[in-house]
Chains A and B, each alone.
Chain A
Amino acid sequence: MTGMAPVVTILGAPLLAAVISLATTRAPILHGLNLATMAALAISEMAIVQQVLTQGSFTSLWGFVYLDALAAFILLITTAIGFLCSLYTWSYLGDYMERGAISARRISRFFFLFHLFLFAMISATTANNLGIQWAAMEGTTLATAFLISFFRTREGFEAGWKYLILCSVGIALALFGTVLTYYSSVRVLGDVSAALNVTVLLGVAHQLDPHVLKLAFIFVLVGYGTKVGLAPVHNWLPEAYSEAPAPVTAMLAGVLETVAAYALLRSKSIVDQALPEHFTGNLLLLFGLLSFVLAALFILIQHDYKRLFAYSSIEHMGVAMVGFGVGGSTGTFGGLFHLLNHALAKSLAFFSAGNMLRRFGTREIDKVRGLAAAQPVTAVAIVVAGLALAGMPPFSMFLSEVMVVSALATQDFSSDTLHLGQFLTIVVAHDVRSLAIVTAFLLFAIVLFGGFTYRVTSMIWGTPPDGVKRGEGWEVGQVPLVVACAALVGLGLKLPEPIRELMDRAVHVLLAR
C-alpha cells in the first residue's frame, strides 16, 4: 500500500484539474493550475520510478493499477512531454488571446479537454485490466476530437472528423481483439473479473490457446496500430497533426503515439508467452518497415512543414516497431530509447512549427524564408529537431536508430519462413533476406535524410518576406525549446543512470518468458 499516494496523485490530479478548469475562465489561474498539476504529476512519477527501481513491479488501488518498469518508463515520457507542453501553452494561448482569436472561455474549455486527455493516457498506461486500458484508449480519441478542431476552421473540422471516425473504427477492432483475449483466458480461469488483468494473464499465458491469441493479436495490432499511426492505417495522422494547435499536436505525436505503442507492447508481452516469438515480432517488423518506407516516400512530396513532421512521426514509429519486432535486448532497448527520443524531438519540432505558423501565418515551406533572421531561437530549435529527426549525431536519436539497425543486421531468425497469419508464407534464404532488408532500410534512411534536411534547411536562410516582424523576445514558451534541445544532445552523450536502469528493466519485462 506504500505506492498508494503517488498513484492516486498521478490519476487524480489531471481529473481534478479538468473539473476546476471548467469552473473558471481566468487565464492566469488556468495556466497556474495547469503547471501545478504537471508539477504534481512529475513528483509522483519520480516516486513511482523510485518504487519500481527499488521494489520491482507493484499493483495498487485494489488491483486496478499495475505498474512495472515498462509502464513507469512510458509515464516518464508522458509527464516530461506534458510538462514541456504546459510551459509552451502559456505563451501559445496567451498570444492567440492577445490577438483576440480566442476568448477566455475557449481557454477554459481547452484545459478541460487537455486534462481529460492526459487523464485518459495515464489511465491507459497504468491500467491492469486490458478492458479498462481499451476504454481509456477510446477516451483519448474522444477527448482530443474537439482539441484538434479547436480553432473551429473548416479544415479543422474535416481533420477532426477523419480522426474521430478512423480511430473509432481502429479501436473497435482492438476491442474485438480484447474480447478474443478474454475468450481464451475465461476458459482457463473461469468467469472472474480478473481474467483480463495483466498480472493474471502473464501467469496463465502459456495455457491459453495459441490460435485465439494469434487472432486476438492481429486485431489488437490493427486497432492500436491505427492510433500509433502505422501504415496503412495512418491516413488521419497528417491531417490531424497539421490542423491541431501546436501543444496538442506535440502531445498527440509525443505522448499518444507512445501510449498506443505501449498498449501494443503489453499485448505482445502476453501473446509471446503462448506463441513462438517470431509471430508477433514478424508482424511488428512488417508493419514497421512498411510505415518507414511509405513515410520516406511521402516526405519527399510534402510542401507543408507540419505535414512533413507528421510523416516523420509515421517513419519513426516504424523504426521503433522494427526495433521491437526484431527483438533481442539491443532491438528492444533501441525501440524504447527511440520512443523517448522521438517524443522529445517531435514535440520540439511542433513547438517550433507553432512559433513559425504564428509569425509567418503560413504552413507552406516555400513561403517561409529567413527564419534565422525573423526568429533566431526557433530557427536553432528547428535545425536541432530536423537534424535529430533525420538521424544525425550527436543527437540521441542517432544512437537509438543505430541500435535498431544493428539489431536488424544481426538478427537471428528462429525459422527461415516469415509467417504472416496462415494465408501467406514468404520463404527467403536466411542471410540474403537479412542483408536485403538492412540495405533497403539504409537506402530509405538516406532518402529520408536528404528529403528531410533539404526541406527544413530551405526555410532557415534568406530574407524574411515583407511584413514579417524580425527578432524574437524571451518568453516562457521558449523554455521548452531549450530544454528539449538540451535533452536531445544530453541523452546522446550520456543516459542518466536511473533512466538507463528503468529501460533495462523494461526490456526485461518485454523479453521475459
Chain B
Amino acid sequence: MSLLTPHVGSQLVDLGSAVLLLICFAIVAQRRLSACVDLFALQSVFLAATAALVAFLTGIHHIYAAALLTLIIKAIVIPRILRKVIERLNVTRELVMNVNVPAGLLICGGLVMLAFFITQPIIPLGFLLTRDSLAIALAIVLIGFFTMIARKKAVTQVIGFLVMENGVFLGAAAAAYGMPLIVELGVFFDVLVGALIIGIYTHRLQDAFDSVDTGRLTTLKE
C-alpha cells in the first residue's frame, strides 16, 4: 500500500487509459473481423481493470460494481454475440474500406490531438488522480466514431459504437469517479439490449441483401 501514493496511482490510471487508446489504434489497423472483436474484448478487460484501480485508489465502492459489469457484459457476453454473428455470416475480412489503414491511423493521430486541444481548458479542474484520462476518453470516443464512418461491414460499425461507449465509460469512471450506480445500470442494460438487437439485425440484413456490407444498402437514395 505504501507504494501506491496518489502520484503513483495517478500514473497507473493514466497508463491504463493509454493502453485503451493504443488498442483503439490496433482496431483501426486491423482488417480481420474476429481480431477486431478480440481487441474490443481486450480493451474492455483493461477498462474494467482501470475502473477497479480507480475504485481502489478512491475507496468509492460502486465503481467496483461498474467494473465487474464491464467485465461480464463487454468482455464476455457481447464479444460472444459478435463472434456468433461473424460465424453465422461467414465473413472474415474487411476487403474494402472507405479510408485505407495508413490514412486512417494518421487521422486517428489527429483526432487524439484534437481531443487534447478541446479538453485543455477543463482538464485542470479535474481530480488530481485522473486528470488526463478525460482527454484520452474523448480521443477514444472520436476514434470509435471515425471507425464507424471508415468501415463498411456492419460488424465493424458495431465495434466502433462499442468503442465509443468504452470511451464514455472511461470518461465517467476516471474523470468523475463513476456515474451514479442507477445510471450505470441503465447504460449497461441499453448496451446489452442494443448488442442483441444489432445481432438480430445483421442476421436479417444477411437474409435480405445476401451481404452485411453496408455499402450495398443503397436502395434508399435521394
- State whether A161 touches B201 (Cβ < 8 A): yes
Which residues of B lie under 8 Å from residue A138 when comparing CB positions? 187, 190, 194
Q: Nearest CB to that of A298 among chain B residues?
A: B222
Q: Which of A129-183 contact B (CB under 8 A)?
A: 129, 131-132, 134-136, 138-139, 141-142, 145-146, 149, 152-155, 157-162, 164-165, 168-169, 172-173, 175-176, 179-180, 182-183
- State whether B219 touches A135 (Cβ < 8 A): no
In angstroms, Cα B114 to Cα A287, docked, is 23
Q: What sequence of 0s and 1s flags, for each residue 160-175 of chain B, a beta carbon within 8 Å of any chain A beta carbon? A: 0100110110011001
Which residues of B lie under 8 Å from residue A146 when comparing CB positions? 197
B56 on interface, CB distance cutoff 8 Å: no
In angstroms, Cα B154 to Cα A139, docked, is 21
The interface-forming segment of A189-197, A265-273, A424-432 is: A189-197
Q: What sequence of 0s and 1s flags, for each residue 202-215 of chain A, a beta carbon within 8 Å of any chain B beta carbon? A: 00000001011001
- State whether B177 touches A131 (Cβ < 8 A): no
Main secondary structure of the interface of B (DSSP, over half): helix
- State whether A183 touches B183 (Cβ < 8 A): no
Q: What sequence of 0s and 1s flags, for each residue 181-202 of chain B, a beta carbon within 8 Å of any chain A beta carbon? A: 1110011011001100110010
Which residues of B lie under 8 Å from residue A45 when comparing CB positions? none
Which residues of A lie under 8 Å from residue B165 when comparing CB positions? 172, 175
B204 on interface, CB distance cutoff 8 Å: yes
In angstroms, Cα B209 to Cα A155, docked, is 10
Q: Nearest CB to that of B209 among chain A residues?
A: A154
Q: Looking at the assembled complex, report how far the CB atom of B51 sits from the nearest CB atom of chain A, in whole angstroms.
A: 13
Cβ 8 A contact of A159, one of B122, B134, B187, B220: B220
B78 on interface, CB distance cutoff 8 Å: no
B217 on interface, CB distance cutoff 8 Å: yes
- State whether A155 touches B220 (Cβ < 8 A): yes
- Knowing A129-B182, A176-B141, say if A183 contacts B134 (CB, 8 Å): yes
A239 on interface, CB distance cutoff 8 Å: yes
Q: Looking at the assembled complex, report how far the CB atom of A479 sits from the nearest CB atom of chain B, in whole angstroms.
A: 32
- State whether A157 touches B122 (Cβ < 8 A): no
In angstroms, Cα B219 to Cα A161, docked, is 13
Q: Looking at the assembled complex, report how far the CB atom of B140 sits from the nearest CB atom of chain A, in whole angstroms.
A: 10
Q: Nearest CB to that of B173 among chain A residues?
A: A179
Which residues of A lie under 8 Å from residue B197 when comparing CB positions? 142, 145-146, 164
- State whether A149 touches B168 (Cβ < 8 A): no
In angstroms, Cα B187 to Cα A129, docked, is 13
Cβ 8 A contact of B182, one of A132, A162, A169: A132
B112 on interface, CB distance cutoff 8 Å: no
Q: Looking at the assembled complex, report how far the CB atom of B4 sits from the nearest CB atom of chain A, in whole angstroms.
A: 20
Which residues of B lie under 8 Å from residue A186 when comparing CB positions? 176-177
10 tightest A-B contacts by CB? A131-B183, A135-B186, A193-B180, A183-B176, A138-B190, A172-B164, A154-B208, A179-B172, A158-B217, A211-B121
Beyond the given A183-B134, A211-B125, A215-B122, could you list 6 further A-B residue pairs with CB under 8 A, ordered by the A residue number? Answer: A134-B183, A154-B219, A161-B214, A161-B217, A162-B217, A176-B167
Could you write out 30 A-B pairs with CB less than 8 Å apart?
A132-B182, A134-B183, A134-B187, A135-B189, A138-B190, A139-B190, A142-B197, A145-B201, A146-B197, A155-B220, A158-B217, A161-B205, A162-B217, A162-B220, A165-B161, A173-B141, A173-B145, A173-B164, A176-B137, A179-B168, A179-B171, A179-B179, A180-B171, A183-B176, A191-B178, A196-B183, A211-B122, A215-B119, A242-B220, A301-B222
